[in-house]
Structure formats: C-alpha cells, structure tokens
Amino acid sequence: MKWARFEADGAIVYGIVEGEEIAEVRGDPFSDYALTGNRQPLAEAKLAVPVIPRTFYAAGLNYAAHVREQAERRGETPNFPPQADIGYRANNALIAHGEPIVIPHDATDQVEYEAELVVVIGKQARRLSEADALSCVLGYTIGNDVSERTWQRSDRTLWRAKNTDSFKPMGPWIETDVNLEDMRTAVRLNGQTTIEFETNAMLFGVAHFISRMSRYLTLYPGDMVWMGTEGKSPQMKDGDVVDIEISGIGVLTSPVIRETAADD
C-alpha cells in the first residue's frame, strides 16, 4: 500500500495511491482513517512531504564505499563506525517530490546528493529486540540527503551543510510492502545513471538500528530514520534534475536551482 500526502481543496491530506489515482482519506496512516470517496489523478496531484516527523533521525555513515570515499577526500584513513550511533537532521529542510533544491548563492560548487532509504515508524516503541524491531515500521520512502561539503568540513555542526532549507527532498510516498533484501537504489543525474547499489548492503541494518535506538529512546508514530548512502556523488548545479529510484518504492525527483545574490 502506498500512502501519499497531497493538496486537496487547499488543505494537506493523506491518501492511498491506487494505480493512476489517489484516494483521499480522513485521518492518517498512524491512527484511524476512512476513505472520503474523493479521488484525484496521481499525475495532477501536488504531493507534499509524506510525513513531518516528531524526530528526524539519520544514520549518517552506513555503507562501506561511502565511508572510504569520504575519508579519501579528507586525506584520512577510513574510520568505520564501531557501533550504530544514530544522528539527526532537521524538519525545516524537508521538501516534497518535484520541489526544487535551492543552493544558497554563497555555497560552493560542492553540493552533492545522497540517495537514502527512509524508514517511517508507525507505532510507539521502546525496548524492541532486533527480531521484533520491524514490527513498529509503517513503511519506507526515499530521501535525498543533500550536502554542501565545504560547510560540512568547516562548521562545528552539520546545520548549513545538511539542513539548509530544501536540502532534504523526501517522497514521493510511503510504501508499506517492501522486501528489504531485494531492493536496489539508483541515482540519475539529468537522466544518466551515476550510481546503483543494493539498498540493504548497510553496515548496520534497519532492525539493528531500531533495536539499539529503542533501548534508550521512545520511537513515536511519524518518526523517521534515514539509513545513509553508498558511494560517491558528482556535484549538482543550477538546472540539473536528480532522480532517486528505489525498486519497490518509486522515484523521487528534484530539480536544482542556484539562488543569486540578488535573491538575498
């Protein structure tokens, strides 16, 4: 089942994607819902970010080649994370499928995409074993962890590098039925495939992260966990279009524009 959020009569509502249409619901996937009977053609719907989380978790370094590539760029030996320590991103940066990534005019050219699997929590959870961890998951969507690499190195935190407005495209919807073992992530920059990798080839998997997190913290419906990315990314520039496809979920598309100093 595919859960989307979209505009209907000026409000943002949830709906279920059925073929080429969205069937509107009253309520949401985290509690009760009922079909309203209203339907919209999917192609004409203005999609919204599929969920605004209470807390926005992100695994960060979680694929081997990406850890090696990031270290090489800094002239360091790769430092694989010894344990699953979750990090954070910020809600201000979220944008929907189709909305533009806006590069600030004072950013360098080193603005890169990171294609990520996003886990959406459906039920409140604490102290889940690894075997039970996936029981709290509603479904999965796609995230693009856009990063300005010079700010990532110079600033004390990741605030500008990762959380500038529009730096977290997410969508197009939440797919509840996936097989984690059988998914591939592919990125296309202006239609050219730049990387393709096995989605689940993570250093620490979804169940391990959720179990470990839930030992110390309560997960809430709508919380989400971005699972990290693989490999290395070319830079994105004004006029580019980046598509991230995860098989079994869909395609997240983002045009890229660069702000001019005059916009300031």
Interface residue list for a second copy (CB under 8 A): 52, 54-55, 60-61, 81, 83, 85-88, 90-93, 104, 126-127, 155-157, 159-160, 163-165, 213, 216-220, 223, 264
Helix (H) or strand (E) holding 159: helix 159-163
**How far apart (Å, rounded) are the C-alpha atoms in residues 216 and 236?**
38
d(CA 262, CA 216): 47
Output the smallest distance, CB 175 to a second copy, in A. Answer: 25
215, containing H or E segment: helix 206-216
Angstrom distance (rounded) from CA 27 to CA 158: 35
Residue 82 CB, nearest distance to a second copy (Å)? 8
Min dist CB 39 to a second copy, Å, is 31
φ, ψ of residue 48 to 5 degrees: the values are: -110, 170
CA 147 → CA 55, 118, 122, 135, 167, distances in Å? Answer: 20, 17, 28, 32, 7
Give the integer Cα–Cα distance in Å for 32 and 5.
15
Indicate the residue among 44 and 216 with the shorter CB distance to a second copy.
216
Complex with a second copy: residue 30 or 175, whichever CB lies closer: 30
Minimum distance between the CB of residue 159 and a second copy, rounded to whole angstroms? 5
Nearer to a second copy, 160 or 232 (CB): 160
Identity of the residue, 29 or 60, whose beta carbon is nearer to a second copy in the bound complex: 60
Measured from the CB atom, is 42 or 86 closer to a second copy?
86
What residues contact residue 7 under an 8 Å CB cut-off, 6+ apart? Answer: 13, 45, 46, 48
Give 93 or 242: the residue with its C-beta nearer to a second copy: 93
- DSSP type of residue 31: S
Tokens representing 3 are 């859960």
CB of 127 to a second copy, least distance (A): 7
Q: Which is nearer to a second copy, 63 or 250 (CB)?
A: 63
What is residue 77's three-state secondary structure?
coil
The closest of 132, 129, 90, 112 to 224, measured between CA atoms, is: 90
Give me the least distance between CB of 152 and a second copy, in Å please: 11
DSSP state of 109: S
Q: Please state the closest distance from residue 247 (CB atom) to a second copy, in A.
A: 30
